[in-house]
């Protein structure tokens, strides 16, 4: 069972809208090696897991899989922010439609030239479950062989490929919003790469100097370096509210990435940052333009709400933090 925290797992840095960068980031969300895939793959591997004696491996998969849901949330929100407002349409509520936008263009003219037209035509300047070439995410991506060693080997390759592609995305854009999220995911992918490499070490493999893959200068990207200096590539959270996770039996000892750090699984979750709600976009008819409905919604928002009974954790502690 899963619970949600109304906070993002990592901060998103503000910058100008950038639909081309948004489209590149779609690979990290809905691509064959993106976050939707890792999330679903580890969720299936956890559900179908066999062998009580191997529970630490199951818990490692379950914990990383839970983190990936938050990564979907993070990169999806980042894409939305990169798209939001990109048409530079300046419509006011009083006269919203068909008024020329920046440069005299029709309000959504930009959609014909940039990235994926579906970002405007279908998704109202929001994220889509597709890759950067527009292919919808497919269940056929999920790998779960039933053989633990093969699953671990695949996962190692999967995290490395995800990181490789994110390094390339970093090289495609200077947009700070895009780079900050990509950098965070690069470091977390490396943490997961370390997790699977270490799991294979417990089964006898000695990686020598092979890891990480790519063994790049990516650590020198300023945003990445900052997080690596904090040791984020060597930390794995349990994301577990029951205290039953045994992932720490595997994720410990020297990092297989040869950076001299020690792996640490002693934290439940990062603190996160507050999440916000985007503005209405009238040129997308989303959700706007209807005063009567807006007033009904506002009426709903003004009603007092019953107090919720907590079962799985404090309802208050992070509120307002």
Contact positions with its own copies (CB under 8 A) in 232-271 = 238-246, 248-250, 252, 264-271
- Per CB under 8 A, contacts with its own copies among 2-41 are 2-9, 20-21, 23-24, 27, 30-32, 36, 40
CB neighbour burial string for 247-282, b if at least 16 within 10 angstroms, e if fewer: bbebbeeebbbebeeebbbeeebbebeeeeeeeebb
User: How do strand 273-274 and strand 7-8 relate by DSSP bridges?
Assistant: antiparallel
Asked if residue 68 belongs to a known ligand binding site, the reply is yes
CA atoms within 13 A on the CB side of 304: 2
- Of 268-297, binders to its own copies (CB under 8 A) are 268-272, 276-281, 283-290, 292-294, 296-297
R_g of the chain, CA atoms, integer Å? 22
307 counts as binding its own copies under rule CB under 8 A: yes
Min separation Cβ 101 and its own copies, Å: 9
Whole-angstrom Cα distance, residue 318 to residue 92? Answer: 37
Residues numbered 86-125 forming contacts with its own copies, rule: CB under 8 A: 96-98, 106-109, 111-113, 115-118, 120-125
Q: What is the DSSP letter of 205?
A: -
CA-nearest of 258, 225, 285 to 96 is: 285
Nearest alpha carbon to residue 186 among 77, 260, 104, 75: 75
Q: How far is the CB of 187 from its own copies (least distance, A)?
A: 15
Q: Of 92, 209, 229, 260, which one interacts with its own copies (CB under 8 A)?
A: 209
Q: Which stretch binds its own copies (CB under 8 A): 65-73, 183-191, 225-233?
A: 65-73
| C-alpha pair distances (Å), 151 with each of 36, 146, 201, 274 | 17, 7, 14, 35
Choice from 38, 58, 182, 183 touching its own copies (CB under 8 A): 58
* Cβ distance to its own copies smaller for residue 136 or 260: 136
Span interacting with its own copies, options 45-53, 183-191, 226-234, rule CB under 8 A = 45-53
Q: Residues comprising the binding site? A: 35, 59, 68, 71, 159, 192
Q: Residues comprising the binding site for Ca(2+)? A: 59
């Amino acid at each position: 069972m899963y619970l949600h925290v109304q906070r993002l797992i990592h901060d998103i840095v503000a910058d100008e809208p950038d639909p081309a960068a948004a489209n590149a980031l779609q690979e990290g969300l809905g691509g064959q090696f993106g976050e939707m895939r890792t999330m679903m793959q580890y969720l299936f591997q956890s559900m179908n897991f066999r062998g009580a004696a191997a529970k630490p491996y199951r818990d490692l998969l379950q914990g990383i899989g839970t983190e990936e849901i938050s990564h979907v949330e993070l990169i999806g929100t980042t894409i939305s922010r990169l798209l939001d407002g990109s048409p530079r349409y300046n419509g006011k509520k009083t006269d919203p439609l068909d008024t020329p936008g920046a440069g005299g263009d029709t309000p959504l003219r930009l959609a014909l030239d940039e990235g994926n037209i579906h970002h405007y035509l279908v998704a109202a300047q929001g994220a889509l479950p597709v890759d950067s070439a527009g292919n919808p995410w497919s269940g056929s991506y999920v790998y779960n062989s039933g053989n633990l060693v093969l699953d671990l080997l695949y996962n190692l390759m999967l995290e490395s490929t995800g990181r490789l592609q994110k390094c390339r995305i970093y090289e495609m854009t200077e947009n700070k919003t895009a780079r900050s999220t990509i950098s965070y995911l690069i470091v977390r992918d490396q943490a997961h790469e370390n997790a699977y490499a270490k799991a294979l070490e417990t089964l006898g493999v000695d990686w020598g100097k092979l890891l990480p893959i790519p063994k790049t200068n990516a650590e020198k990207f300023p945003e990445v370096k900052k997080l690596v200096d904090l040791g984020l590539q060597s930390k794995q959270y349990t994301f577990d509210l029951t205290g039953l996770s045994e992932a720490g039996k595997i994720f410990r000892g020297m990092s297989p990435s040869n950076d001299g750090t020690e792996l640490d699984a002693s934290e439940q979750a990062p603190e996160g940052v507050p999440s916000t709600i985007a503005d209405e976009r009238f040129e997308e008819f989303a959700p706007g333009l209807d005063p009567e409905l807006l007033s009904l919604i506002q009426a709903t928002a003004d009603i007092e709400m019953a107090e919720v009974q907590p079962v799985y954790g404090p309802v208050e502690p992070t509120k307002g933090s």
